[in-house]
Amino acid sequence: MRALLKMVKVEGTLFLRDSATVIFGVLFPTGLLLGLGAIPALREPSPETGGLRDIDIWAPTALVFGMVMIAVQHVPAVIATYRERGILRRLSTTPAHPRGVLLAQMIVALASVVVSAALMTFLAWAVLDIAPPERPLEFVVAFVVGYAALLGLGMVSAAVVRTSSAANQLGTLLFVALMFFGGAFLPRVVMPDVLREVGEFIPPGLQALTAAWSVEAGQITATAGGQPFWPQIAVMAGIAVTASAVAAKLFRWE
């Protein structure tokens, strides 16, 4: 336990020294939202969306951006580097199992997205007047379970790649795919129904996050054939468990 706490502390310190990840993973989502919020047209209440502004409906996408960045880009790259450079192997000659360093990585990755999300929801409220999550409990559940599903995918990626450069390539590919369903290229609200319905099965689950943040926005982005909130959460939990099991099965320590 003492060793794990020390590892979390050291991995956290190393994370903070990696300025690119801190900027893109933690600070950028807030910057992106504030930047888009500076465009007047996106702050106009629209009668078609029941008086909601585009920025209100789109805000959860910025949140997803930070989560995906850390879970599928940053974490697998660090783990692949640790494997490639014999750091995991070196650890396995000590009483600390290299499992500890993976766990520490995941704890740090969770802490960093929590900070990122807290910063974003606070500034979204303070600067853009986007109300804090209306259903806080559901929001926390959707966030944690959705993130667990993302990290599961990240760990599968870390398990199968051989080198850190392969981890970066696969990470970028996953990032683009996940962010497509995360509404970064095409806002969810304008996606065809079929894409929206598929999107409910894509981590971290944008629809559940949107619905928990703002009930009205959730109604606008939902489709007639879509799943209710809790089944969406169950899907994410299933993905988290399955992906973690696959990652654990495929993981190579050297």
Partner 1 sequence: MTALEVRNLHKRYGQHVAVDDVSFTVEKGEIFGIIGPNGAGKTTTVESIAGLRTPDSGSLSVLGLDPTKDRAEVRERLGVQLQESSFPDAIKVAEALELHSSFYRNPADWRELMELLGLTEKRDTQYKALSGGQKQRLSIALALVGNPEVAILDELTTGLDPQARRDTWSLIERVRDTGVTILLVTHFMDEAERLSDRIAVINGGRVAAVDTPAGLIARSSGARQVRFRVSQPLDRSVLTDLPDVTDVEITEGRWLVTGRGQLLSSVAGALARARVVAEDLRVDQRNLDDAFVAFTGRAPESPGNSTRRVG
Binding site for partner 1 (CB under 8 A): 2-3, 6-7, 10, 13-14, 17-18, 81-82, 85-87, 89-90, 92-96
C-alpha to C-alpha distance for 40 and 24, rounded to whole angstroms = 25
C-alpha to C-alpha distance for 70 and 199, rounded to whole angstroms = 20
Smallest distance from partner 1 to CB 3, Å = 5
Smallest distance from partner 1 to CB 105, Å = 11
122 conformational bin, left if phi > 0, alpha if psi -120 to 50, beta if neither: alpha
- For residues 66 and 113, the answer to whether their CB atoms sit within 8 Å is yes
Give Cα separations from 127 to 48, 114, 122, 251 (angstroms): 24, 20, 8, 44
Smallest distance from partner 1 to CB 245, Å = 24
If the CB atoms of residues 19 and 47 are measured against partner 1, the closer one turns out to be 19
| Cα within 13 Å of Cα(152), Cβ side | 21
- Cβ neighbour number for residue 124 with a 10 Å cutoff: 23
Smallest distance from partner 1 to CB 142, Å = 33
If the CB atoms of residues 82 and 181 are measured against partner 1, the closer one turns out to be 82
If the CB atoms of residues 40 and 95 are measured against partner 1, the closer one turns out to be 95
Specify the amino acid at residue 55.
I
If the CB atoms of residues 34 and 96 are measured against partner 1, the closer one turns out to be 96
If the CB atoms of residues 92 and 242 are measured against partner 1, the closer one turns out to be 92
Smallest distance from partner 1 to CB 93, Å = 4
